[in-house]
Structure 1
Amino acid sequence: MRVHPEVADALAAGRAVVALESTIISHGLPRPDNLRIAREIEESVRAGGAVPATVAIIDGEPHIGLDDEALQRIATGDTVIKVSVRELATLAAVGADGATTVAATAHLAAAAGITVFATGGLGGVHRGARDSYDESADLTVLSRTPVLVVCSGVKSILDIGATLERLETLSVGVIGYRTDRFPAFYLADSGHPLDWWVQTPKQAAAVLRARDRLGADGYGLVLANPIPADAELDRELHDRVLADGLAAAEVAGVRGKDVTPFLLDHFHRATHGASVAANVALVLANARLAAEVAVAYAA
C-alpha cells in the first residue's frame, strides 16, 4: 500500500484519521460536481479535527489518502472500476485504477491502521434476496474488520429489515447517533427501532475503546447517523418514486447488481436532483461526525 505522507504522519503520531470511500466519487455522484464534492467531503473531515484518507487503487496499487492529482484521476477517469475486496488482487495484478466500495475501503483502512470510516450508506440485503441471494459484501467484510463505519443507514431501495437481521447474525453492532430509529439514507427513520444509541462523539469513542478492551475488536461497528432534517426527502415523494422505480426495474428486466444503479438513477431523474442533494448533505454530515469520533477515540 502507498500511504499519503500526511496520513502516515498522523497515524504515527496517534492523531485522528478518517477513511473515505472513492466509489461515491467515481460512480455515485454526477460529473463534474463529483470532484468538487469529493474535496468538500475531505474538508468536512478536516473541519472536525481529523485527517482525511480517501482510499482508491491507482495503477493497481492501493492508496490510503489521495493527492489532488489522484483525486482528479478517480473523479474523471473513464476506466475506473468499482472494486470490492474480491477484486482487489485481480486489479492489482493488471495494474488498473479502482474506486473502493465500503467493503474494500474498510479492508484497506483497517490494514493501514485506521479505525474510523465515513460513507453515505452501507450496502445490505437486496429486495428479493430469498430467491437471488443478492447481499452486499459490505456486511460480511464488516463482520471481520475492526472499523467503525459512520453512515446514514442503508438505502431505502434495499430490504432494511433483512439487513439488520444479517448484521445481528454477523455480530456487527449497530448504534444510533442521537436516534433510536435506524435511518434509511434519504429518510431519517426507516421504521426499524434500534436497541442502542449514543448522544455524543465521546460516547461513540467510548464504545470503541470498550470493544478493544473486551477482545471484540475483530468485529466492525455501525454508527447510524440520520440525514440532516433540512435535507431529508419528502416521505410521500420518496415512497412514490421508489414504487415507480421498482416497477420500472421489473418491466425492464433489471436484476442483481444492476438494480441499485438503476434505482438511484431513477431517483435522480424523478426527484429532479433532490436525491443527489440529499446524498451530498448526509455524506458531509457523516464525514464531520466521523472526524469528531476519531478525535475523541485518539484522545
Structure 2
Amino acid sequence: MRVSDEVQNALERNTPVVAIESAIIRSTGDKDIRLAKYNTAMDILGKLGVTPAVCAIIKGELVIGAGIEECEQLAFELDPLKTGRRDIPYMCSEQKSGLTTVSATMFMARRAGIRTVVTGAIGGVHREVHSSLDISSDLEALTEDDVVVACSGAKAILDLPKTLEYLETKNVPVIGCGTNEFTGYYTRSNLPLECRMDEPMQIAKMLNKKWDLELSGGAVVVADLSAEAKAVDHGAINELVNSAIDAAEKQGVVGKAVTPFLQKYLAERSDGELERLAEFAFAESLKLSGRLAVALASSAVDDV
C-alpha cells in the first residue's frame, strides 16, 4: 500500500483527511468532463482545509492519495476495472489497475487510518433482488470498517426501503445531517430517518462513542438535499428507473455493468438534468465529508 506524502503528513499531524472513491472519475462516458468530479473534490475539500485522498489501485498497488496524473491515466489511458472490496486480492496479485467503489475505498481508508469517506451515493439493495439477489457490497463493508461515509443517500435506481431495512438489520447507523429524510441521490424518498443531528461535532461525538464502546462497523451520514430534491418528481424518476431496468434486461446487461448502464440511461433520457442534480448532490456530500473530517480531527485532539 502506498500513501502519498501529503496524506501521510496530514495523518501524522492529525489534520482532517477524506478518502474519495476513484470510481467518480469514470461516472460519465463524456471524456471532456471525466475529471470534473475529481477537480470539484480537490476544490471543495481544499477550501475546508481538508486533505483529499483519492483511493485507487494502480498496477496492483493500493494507492491512497492518487495524484492528478495517475487519475488522468485511470480516466483516459488505461482500462481500469470497477473494483469492490472482494476484488482487491485479484487486482493486486495480477498487478491490474482499478477504480475503487465505496466498499474498497472503506477498506483502504481504514488501513491507512482515515476515518471519513465520501461518495455521491452508496450502493444498496437492487429493485429486482427477489430474482437477482443483487445487494451491493457497500452495505456489508459498512458492518466491518470503522469509518463514516458521507453521501446523498443511496442511488435512486435501488430499492430504497429495503436498503434502509438492510442497514438496520446490520446495525449500521444512518444519520441525517440537517434532514429527517433519506434521499435517493437527487430525489426524495419519503423515507424518514430516526436519527437526525444538525452539527458535525454532534455526529463526531456519537461516532467516537460508538468506537469507544467497540461497536465495530461504520455509519452513513446523509447530506441535506431538501431544496433540490423537492424539485424532482419522485414518481417520474421511478417510472424512468423502471424503464431503464426493462431496457437492461432486454439488452442482457448483468453484473457490474448494470449500474453504469442504468445511470447512463437516466442521464440520456432526462436530457442531462439528472446528471446535473447528481453533480450537485456530490458537491453537498463533499462539503459534509469535509466538515465531518474536521470535527473528528478536533474531537480526537480534545480527547488527548
TM-score of the pair, normalised by structure 1? 0.94
Q: Which amino acid aligns with 1:219?
A: G
Which deviates the most, 267-276 or 22-31? 22-31
Q: Which residue pairs with 1:263 in the alignment?
A: 262
Q: Distance in 2 between matches of 1:184 and 1:231?
A: 9
- Equivalent residues in 2 for 1:1-299, closer than 5 Å: 1-28=1-28, 30-187=30-187, 189-216=188-215, 218-227=216-225, 229-230=227-228, 234-235=232-233, 236-299=235-298
- Contact 2:25–2:36 (8 Å) recurs in 1: no
User: How far apart in 1 are the matches of 2:132 and 2:238?
Assistant: 24
Runs of 4+ residues deviating >6 angstroms: none
**Partners in 1 of 2:154 and 2:197 — Cα distance?**
19
Is the contact made by 1:231 and 1:281 (CA closer than 8 Å) also made in structure 2? no
Judge which range, 136-145 or 88-97, deviates more. Answer: 88-97
Kindly state the Cα deviation for residue 232 of structure 1 after the two structures are TM-superposed.
6.4
The CA distance in 2 between the partners of 1:234 and 1:77, in whole Å, is 36
Question: Partner amino acid for 2:265?
Answer: H
2: CA distance, partners of 1:143 / 1:28: 29
Stretch of structure 1 that moved more, 7-16 or 125-134: 125-134
- In structure 2, the CA distance between the partners of 1:243 and 1:129, relative to structure 1 (3 Å rule), is closer
Deviations 1:139-197 (A, max 9, x none): 1111010000001111121111111111111111111111111111121x212111101
Distance 1:20 1:233, change over 3 A: farther
Q: State which drifts further: 142-151 or 275-284.
A: 275-284
Q: 3-state SS of the aligned residue for 1:88? A: helix
Can you give the 5+ residue segments of structure 1 that lack an aligned partner in the other structure? none
Q: CA deviation at 1:231?
A: 6.8
Equivalent pair of 1:17/1:294 in contact (CA under 8 Å): yes
Shift of 1:247: 3.2
TM-fit CA distance, 1:248? 2.5
CA contact (8 A) 2:102 2:122 kept: yes
The one-letter code sitting in structure 1 at the alignment partner of 2:217 is Y
Offset of 1:87 from its aligned partner? 1.1
CA distance in 2, matches of 1:71, 1:183: 29
SS at match of 1:140: helix
Equivalent residue, structure 1, for 2:302: none
- Go from structure 1 to structure 2 and tell me whether the alpha carbon gap of 1:154 and 1:29 turns closer, same or farther (over 3 Å shift): farther
Cα separation, partners in 2 of 1:12 and 1:93, compared to 1, 3 Å? same
Q: Cα offset for 1:17?
A: 0.4
Bigger shift: residues 113-122 or 196-205 = 196-205
Shift, 1:29, TM fit:
6.0
8 A Cα contact 1:56 1:99, kept in partner: yes
CA offsets 1:49-98 (integer angstroms, 9 cap, x no match): 21100100111101100122112112213411111111111111121111
SS of 2:191 mapped into structure 1: strand
CA contact (8 A) 2:22 2:54 kept: yes
C-alpha contact 1:186 1:227 (8 A) present in aligned 2: yes
Identity of aligned residues (%): 35
Q: Quick one: structure 1 residues 59 and 259, their matched pair in 2 at CA, closer, same or farther if it must change by over 3 Å?
A: closer
> Structure 1: how far apart are the matches of 2:208 and 2:29?
34
Structure 2 unaligned spans of 5+? 299-304
Does structure 2 conserve the Cα–Cα contact (< 8 Å) formed by 1:148 and 1:220?
Answer: yes
CA–CA distance in 1 between the matches of 2:149 and 2:113? 14
Shift of 1:207: 1.4
Distance 1:22 1:152 in 2: 17
Say whether the 8 Å CA contact 2:146–2:211 is kept in structure 1.
no
Q: Equivalent residue of 2:243, what SS?
A: helix
